[in-house]
Amino acid sequence: MGAIDVSEIQTFVHDVVVIGAGGAGLRAAVAAAEEGLDVGVVCKSLLGKAHTVMAEGGAAAALGNADPRDNWKIHFRDTMRGGKFLNQWRMAELHAQQAPDRIRELEAWGAVFDRTADGRINQRNFGGHRYPRLAHVGDRTGLEMIRTLQDKAVHTAGVAVHMECTALRLLLDKGRVAGILAYWRDSGRFVLFKCKAVIMATGGFGRAWRVTSNSWEYTGDGQAMAYEAGAELMDVEFTQFHPTGMVWPPSVAGVLVTEGVRGEGGILTNNRGERFMFNYIPEKFAKETADTVEEGERWLDGDKTARRPPELLTRDVVARAIAAEVAAGRGSPHGGAFLDIASRRPAEVIKKKLPSMYHQFKELAEVDITKEAMEVGPTLHYAMGGIRVDHDTQMTRVPGLFAAGECGAGLHGANRLGGNSLSDLLVFGRLAGLGAASYIATVGDLEVSSDDVVAGIRKATAPLNRESGPNPYVVHDGLRDVMGRHVNIWRTREGLEKGLVEIARLQGVVGTVKAHGTSQFNPAWSEALDLPNLLLCAEMVARGALLREESRGAHSREDFQGERDEWGSRNIVIRKGADGAMETEVLERTAGPDGLAGIANASLEDLEGNRG
Amino acid sequence: MAERVLRAWRGDRSGGRFEDYTVEADPGMVVLDLVHRAQAGPAPDLACRWNCKAGKCGSCSMEINGRPRLACMTRVGDFAPDEPIVVQPLKAFPIIRDLVTDVRWNYQQNKRIAPFTPGPAPADGNYRMSQTDVDRVQEFRKCIECFLCQDTCHVIRDHDKKADFVGPRFMIRLASLDMHPLDTVDRIPAVRDSYGSGYCNITRCCTEVCPEHIGITDNAIIPLKERVVSRFYDPIAMAIRAFFGTKSEPGKRPMAAPQTKVP
């Protein structure tokens, strides 16, 4: 390649660039624009296709519409307990307090949630939430949310959306964010965005696994760009396996089956017809969980004195239980468990409350869920960990770099409660937009280094320019094998060490891959460019998992079963060391502020009816 | 495992041709799986949009054996074993490359439509709407913006009236706003004058291809056309409006907040 003239590259100037157009990115963009900023949203896909559309069950917020006993303190308590107390106290507090306003605001922007009898936003039950708390629209809440935010964003002055544009690297000026380098997917041309702040809202990295609910976009781009720019990551070892993904046919293995099925009364059984979840109730939740089928049935019938059935325990517990039943030979024909809603609710209720599940099974698996049970098993769904941020502003330790949503860390700790992701996007998306606005007010002129831009372009075009090399799809498939074998739901020291060796080997190979064809809308080239990000995230997960010698939340070690007290007060932080190698640090947590710790450990009776 | 022939259109704005790829097909596979198999093997640079692979995002729209469909929801087993699976880009939009078309026009239409504008919220901050009143709005909001209806609409596809008619997808967007109990904007004049409701002659092709099974024609376009007729061509309705204004029309009935305080 000849000399690159940076001045000839198409350039946009914005105050802030948001990378990612899912719920967090769009909410951040609206918040920043409403503060008077010029905002550019850069996203890999078309607008409205981000992974948020896949969210089904609902958005958790203590509105108290469906059960007036609910309030933010109980939501906070549920979130901390669900996260096994590794959540950042302040973030869990902000989230629980602000989620109701964010949901009401979404309604004022056009979202049409399901209603209560008196016309307010209805709420449904979900795992780990004490009360029906999820504002929802049947089982397509994510679609409702993304469409609402999309409409809001395109009609908000100051927001420009750059679709099908992939960010490649952050550009810094003396350590501060000054822009990004990206390329248009349709033409393959490079584009420069100059700005004073970047908000990462790029979602997770589930594509490292074969059985996952995540779309092709989920390659950890934001995490990797932030890491390379000097930001820290935290809690990355906690990867959520959603207990109910489809298991058959193979082509759809991993596709999500909403927790709403269980929220609406669905039960899990093994091949002997046993409701096995009664055998997997953890000590910590025993007091608040029904211990007989009879009590579970009364709860379903609306008896408020009955405790919740164990199918609604947190996702980590249910996923491990299903895996254990399958391992013990009690699985369904295709290696999962049976999820039965057909015998629990009339067909018309199922079609009304779970319409997309009905269609998904009918069209992809030829199963009528109003007549027969579904087969389900764990699927990699969500990254609890991610980019470490300031709790109130969402800024990383790199000045001008912010993160919100799944690519950020802190709210969910060791395990995320279902429904807390959609409210996370809204609460922290907005705070990141506001954080960026107040940061920008303090920043003077910045410059982008031409050398950085040229280096970025040379690196990106290398897979196209190489004469020959391995096929990037094959390398990706190799990574999925490694993660499935060594960094899966159950982990061991030996497996993780082998996994790290394999990941390192693939990191070597990925620098030699060849993308055939031109740069125009070339999926092989995107694959070649996304893969290093995915491999970096895979390495972070394995390193964190190796270090954490206990089983907590979504992280399960066969060789260190059960929670260990000493690890209950530690978060693992990962960063790029001065020598360029990955560095881990075990961070001792500070005790929670008195008020919050008190709430997290309070009895429910103390918190109910307390709407402070 | 059976072998299938995937016949994919390859090319760009300057032209192209069909290429055959023979790929392995497992039981239960969908057409998008065949595209992915081709990418991982003989056609690594075959351009194709996709995201969720579960019929929820509307990205993988293409024409499969002559019909606009989502590749992720079209099962390979639905075609005869020896029948090639023919995939080509949406015809109504300019080609970018292979199976990918330039659908930006659709996004421009959305921008032209006045956004949702509710009245003030009740004192307790909670808007009230009854489920029966939102049922019909929710039907339209199931739309995943796959643009298959836009692709099949002959006003757009055959007559290229993109400057005059927003197409079925945005007729349901307009219907969802018009029927929203809280919305306060009157878009009926624009439905006729700017968005071109008169161009639709109710052939229901859009409804037939909708993967979300939305009653586009019967539940959205026909009611909007009726609203236009009663507004501009019905003398009695026009007289009533002269006295009571447009806001009292059906479809704008927010529930009142209860007088008693919510516990």
pLDDT in tens, B12-48: 999 999 999 999 999 899 999 999 999 999 999 999 9
CA distance B240 to B246: 9
CATH assignment of the domain containing A271: 3.90.700.10
- The H or E element that residue B67 is part of is strand B67-70
Same domain? For A136 and A167 the reply is yes
Choose the final residue of a domain: A390, A421, A440. A440
Give domain status of residue A2, yes or no: no
DSSP-derived pairing of the beta strands A556-557 and A490-491: parallel
Give tens-digit pLDDT for A506-551: 999 999 999 999 999 999 999 999 999 999 999 999 999 999 999 9
The whole-number pLDDT of residue A332 equals 96
The whole-number pLDDT of residue B241 equals 78
Is the Cα torsion angle A278, A54, A100, A79 positive or negative in sign? positive
Per-residue pLDDT, averaged over A216-244, amounts to 97
User: A234, A599, A586: which is closest to A410 by C-alpha?
Assistant: A234
- The H or E element that residue B163 is part of is none
Give domain status of residue A601, yes or no: no
Confidence class for position A609, pLDDT limits 50, 70, 90: low
Q: Does position B117 have pLDDT exceeding 90, yes or no?
A: yes
Could A364 and B30 be called an inter-chain contact, meaning their C-beta atoms sit closer than 8 Å?
A: yes
| Distance set, CA A567 to CA A281, B162, B205 (Å) | 22, 61, 61
Confidence class for position A607, pLDDT limits 50, 70, 90: confident
Choose the final residue of a domain: A440, A464, A485. A440
Q: Does position B257 have pLDDT exceeding 80, yes or no?
A: no
The DSSP letter of residue A562 is S
Neighbours of A609 (CB within 10 A): 11
B229's CB contacts (< 8 A; 6+ apart) are: none
Q: Does position B98 have pLDDT exceeding 90, yes or no?
A: yes
CA distance A368 to A360: 10
Same domain? For A397 and A463 the reply is no
A110 contact residues in B (CB cutoff 8 A) = 115-116, 118, 177, 180
Q: Which residue of A has its CA nearest to B44?
A: A524
Confidence class for position B258, pLDDT limits 50, 70, 90: low
A242 contact residues in B (CB cutoff 8 A) = none
Contact B153, B161 (CB under 8 A): no
Could B56 and A517 be called an inter-chain contact, meaning their C-beta atoms sit closer than 8 Å?
A: no
Q: Does position B247 have pLDDT exceeding 70, yes or no?
A: no
Task: Give the CA angle between residues A90, A94, A99 to the nearest 5°.
Answer: 155
Across A90-164, where does the E strand assignment appear?
A: 123-124, 134-135, 159-162
Count of domains forming chain A: 3
Confidence class for position B262, pLDDT limits 50, 70, 90: very low
Helix (H, G, I), strand (E, B) or coil at A140: coil
CA distance B193 to B198: 9
User: A326, A362, A355, A322: which is closest to A339 by C-alpha?
Assistant: A322
Identify how many contiguous H helices and E strands chain B contains and give both numbers.
10, 7
The whole-number pLDDT of residue A451 equals 96
Please state the length of chain A. Answer: 612
Confidence class for position B236, pLDDT limits 50, 70, 90: confident
B126 contact residues in A (CB cutoff 8 A) = 63, 65, 104, 120-121
Choose the final residue of a domain: A327, A360, A379. A379
Chosen for mutation from B23, B116, B137, B210 (greatest number of chain A CBs closer than 10 Å) is: B116
Q: Sheet holding A10-13: strands in order across? A: A10-13, A190-194, A176-184, A165-173
CA distance A266 to A343: 9
CA distance A216 to A527: 9
The whole-number pLDDT of residue B263 equals 36
Same domain? For A180 and A32 the reply is yes
CA distance A266 to A42: 40
Chosen for mutation from B52, B104, B210 (greatest number of chain A CBs closer than 10 Å) is: B52
A525 contact residues in B (CB cutoff 8 A) = 45
CA distance A33 to A156: 7
Which runs of consecutive H residues, i.e. helices, occur in A230-368?
A: 260-263, 283-286, 293-300, 315-327, 347-353, 355-365
Confidence class for position A424, pLDDT limits 50, 70, 90: very high
Give domain status of residue A218, yes or no: yes
Is the Cα torsion angle A49, A54, A57, A61 positive or negative in sign? negative
3-state helix, strand, coil in chain A (%, to 5): 40, 20, 40
Give domain status of residue A595, yes or no: no
Per-residue pLDDT, averaged over A136-147, amounts to 96
Same domain? For A303 and A326 the reply is yes
Backbone angles phi and psi of A60, in degrees to 5:
-80, 125
Contact A336, A247 (CB under 8 A): yes
The whole-number pLDDT of residue B246 equals 63
Bond before A249 cis per omega within 30 degrees:
yes
Give the domain range for residue A66. 9-240+381-440
Same domain? For A206 and A169 the reply is yes
Same domain? For A457 and A308 the reply is no
Could A155 and B115 be called an inter-chain contact, meaning their C-beta atoms sit closer than 8 Å?
A: yes
Give tens-digit pLDDT for A381-412: 999 999 999 999 999 999 999 999 999 999 99
Same domain? For A137 and A213 the reply is yes
CA distance A63 to A611: 10
Contact A398, A172 (CB under 8 A): yes
Instruction: Name the residue among B115, B258, B263 with its Cβ closest to that of A68.
Output: B263
Give domain status of residue A597, yes or no: no
Helices A89-108 and A72-82: angle between axes, nearest 10 degrees: 130
First to last CA, chain A: 64
Confidence class for position B62, pLDDT limits 50, 70, 90: very high
Could A215 and B57 be called an inter-chain contact, meaning their C-beta atoms sit closer than 8 Å?
A: yes
Q: Does position A566 have pLDDT exceeding 70, yes or no?
A: yes
Backbone angles phi and psi of A375, in degrees to 5:
-105, 125
Could A45 and B96 be called an inter-chain contact, meaning their C-beta atoms sit closer than 8 Å?
A: no
Give domain status of residue A600, yes or no: no
DSSP-derived pairing of the beta strands B85-88 and B67-70: unpaired
Helix (H, G, I), strand (E, B) or coil at A435: helix
A61's CB contacts (< 8 A; 6+ apart) are: A75, A99, A100, A102, A103, A133, A135, A423
CA distance B195 to A257: 38
Give domain status of residue A125, yes or no: yes
Helix (H, G, I), strand (E, B) or coil at B71: helix
CATH assignment of the domain containing A36: 3.50.50.60
Same domain? For A462 and A510 the reply is yes
Same domain? For A231 and A264 the reply is no
The two tokens of residue A521 are 């809308």
Chosen for mutation from B39, B51, B100, B124 (greatest number of chain A CBs closer than 10 Å) is: B51
What's the mean pLDDT when you consider all of chain A? 95
Helix (H, G, I), strand (E, B) or coil at A318: helix
Same domain? For A341 and A415 the reply is no
The whole-number pLDDT of residue B256 equals 65
The whole-number pLDDT of residue A302 equals 87
Could B45 and A45 be called an inter-chain contact, meaning their C-beta atoms sit closer than 8 Å?
A: no
Confidence class for position B243, pLDDT limits 50, 70, 90: confident
Which runs of consecutive H residues, i.e. helices, occur in chain B?
A: 31-40, 104-112, 131-141, 148-152, 154-157, 168-178, 188-193, 205-209, 222-232, 235-244
Task: Give the CA angle between residues A389, A395, A396 to the nearest 5°.
Answer: 55
Q: Which residue of B has its CA nearest to A117?
A: B130
- The H or E element that residue B101 is part of is strand B100-101
Same domain? For A429 and A503 the reply is no
Same domain? For A434 and A455 the reply is no
Cα of A473 vs its chain's centroid, Å: 24
Give domain status of residue A610, yes or no: no
Could B59 and A49 be called an inter-chain contact, meaning their C-beta atoms sit closer than 8 Å?
A: yes
Residues of A labelled as active-site residues: 242, 262
ipTM of the complex: 0.93
Which residue segments constitute the domains of chain B, with CATH numbers given? 2-101 (3.10.20.30), 104-248 (1.10.1060.10)
b/e for A339-377, b at 16 or more Cβ within 10 A? bbbbebbeeeebbebbbbbbbbbebbbebebbeebbbbb
